[in-house]
Structure 1
């Protein structure tokens, strides 16, 4: 298997995480799907720029973040975040859906820089160093954004544990 084929396989394995992060960033399913596609296209075109031994997920998250910023600029709607579209669920799933939607709505109200930090660290489980690298900011900036994001989420969700 060639190095490019190996890289493509590893990217394919990260698709569920990329989709989840795209939903954290874009909120609307169609925007998230488009964002994943744009990020994958950019990654495949730039695959020679990825350095073996570095975190592939951080590299892809950074590409996705930059693609989203480009998309917002192109649309002229910076900082507009839409609530997720409705889903049909059964009665037994209603409680967990309400909790999930409450968290998603609270996340949507966060400033973008806090939402991205929370999404990478708390949702995707990246280490602070890797999340800071993906966002292109110093670790101190990431931890500050993360702390402010956590505090805001706790206030919005009634001081519950996240």
Structure 2
């Protein structure tokens, strides 16, 4: 667990374990691969430990950790030689253990495919707000972008998902809807 020196010299604990689910989900949405997501979370936690002194007392630990995951992902993209290698390794968003009726399983697969077709910036922004439940300002801070930019990305992502939904035949549509928002 990460610790941060307080005024008296004792070391209060950060609840890193309580954040692992959010970090893993976010990493999985960024990387599109479970194994790569685990590596990303590991790298981000190492960075968080190394930079624990930069955490602002009273700050939002979850947003801080998600921003480290985001930055580690961006750093990884910059160092990667080939976009094709990342796309080939694209994979799973939902846990394999989640069993839904066949109709919903197909629809979830379509939704997951549409989500992964979104540009990285839009997918990341939508994930932080709609799935992780961060406020727009927390998500903007975690992404390292201005609030207006984040809101534009979310709006474009939702519009793109609606457009993809409209292109489906009527029998392929379900009761699922895009959630999250202002």
TM-score bracket for the superposition, by shorter chain length? 0.7 to 0.9
Deviation at 1:74, TM superposition (A): 2.0
Question: Does residue 1:116 correspond to 2:132, yes or no?
Answer: no
Aligned twin of 1:94? 102
Q: Is the 8 A contact 2:34 2:91 kept in 1?
A: no
Name 1:144's counterpart in structure 2. Answer: 152
Q: Distance in 1 between matches of 2:45 and 2:121?
A: 22
Q: What do you get for the CA RMSD once the two structures are aligned? A: 2.3
Structure 1 position 76 matched with structure 2 position 81: yes
* C-alpha displacement of 1:144: 0.4
Q: Which residue of 2 aligns with 1:16?
A: 21
Equivalent residue in structure 2 for 1:6, among 2, 8, 13: 13
Unaligned 5+ runs, structure 1: none
**Structure 2: tracts of 5 or more residues without a match:** 5-10, 168-175
User: How many residues in Structure 1 have an aligned counterpart in Structure 2?
Assistant: 158
**SS where residue 58 of structure 1 aligns?**
helix
So what's the TM-score if we normalise by structure 1? 0.86
Q: Which has the higher contact order (CA 8 A, sep 6+)?
A: 1
Higher Rg: 2
| Distance in 2 between residues matched to 1:22 and 1:65, nearest whole Å | 8
Between Structure 1 and Structure 2, which shows a larger proportion of helix residues? Answer: 1
* 8 Å Cα contact 1:154/1:161 also seen in 2: no
In structure 2, distance between residues paired with 1:78 and 1:52? 38
Q: Normalising by structure 2, what TM-score? A: 0.77
Change (3 A) 1:89 1:52: closer
Which residue of the partner structure matches residue 39 of structure 1?
44
Mean Cα displacement is larger for which, 125-134 or 93-102?
A: 93-102
Deviation at 1:23, TM superposition (A): 1.0
